[in-house]
């Protein structure tokens, strides 16, 4: 079991390249709240090593810890849901983040968190919790609004409040 489960640092990179018939992960990864995408890495490692983990748990008599088919299906759904967030965080990690992109990121997050009729209860709850905290985590301040207007790459992409609907305009 110790050779399958690796304890230690919160985030460990993939041990090998993805090839047909081989595992992407050689050990289970741990989630760490201060490491971006570590939950996705952890879930992917569980899915990738599912057969080995199930076998090891059965060998040591921990059948109650084995994943059921519906639990594995949820982990796969969670992986699909988390991948776009990894792509966004990779984008911000590789370039200089710009304040003007915050409204665009918020729009993408809202799109990813749209509840579907096919979502199970856990996925709906996750999406609702993300949306509930979105404005708190990404507040659109006056400085951000100004950056959106002044940045040529975003000034026409993000909808702004219609000037004609402002109270001052309607009084004229």
pLDDT in tens, 122-146: 999 999 999 999 999 989 899 988 8
What letter would DSSP give residue 68? P
Whats the size of the chain, residue-wise? 172
Please indicate whether residue 27 or residue 113 has the higher confidence score (pLDDT).
Answer: 113
What letter would DSSP give residue 64? G
Distance CA 61, CA 164 (A): 69
Distance CA 121, CA 19 (A): 34
Residue-wise pLDDT tens digits, 7-38? 333 434 444 344 445 667 788 888 888 888 99
Q: Quick check: 46 and 28 in contact, CB under 8 A?
A: yes
First and final C-alpha spacing in the chain:
75
């Amino acid at each position: 079991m110790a050779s399958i489960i690796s304890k230690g640092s919160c985030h460990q990179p993939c041990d090998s390249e993805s090839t047909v018939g081989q595992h992407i992960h050689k050990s289970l990864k741990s989630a760490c709240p201060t490491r971006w995408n570590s939950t996705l890495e952890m879930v992917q490692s569980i899915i990738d090593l599912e057969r080995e983990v199930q076998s090891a748990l059965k060998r040591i008599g921990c059948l109650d810890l084995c994943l059921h088919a519906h639990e594995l299906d949820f982990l796969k759904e969670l992986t699909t849901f988390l991948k776009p967030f990894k792509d966004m965080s990779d984008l911000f990690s590789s370039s200089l983040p710009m304040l003007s992109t915050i409204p665009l990121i918020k729009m993408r997050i809202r799109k990813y968190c749209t509840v579907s009729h096919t979502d199970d209860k856990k996925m709906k709850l996750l999406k609702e919790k993300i949306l509930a905290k979105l404005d708190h985590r990404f507040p659109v301040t006056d400085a951000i609004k100004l950056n959106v207007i002044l940045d040529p790459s975003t000034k026409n992409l993000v909808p702004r409040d219609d000037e004609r609907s402002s109270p001052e305009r309607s009084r004229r």
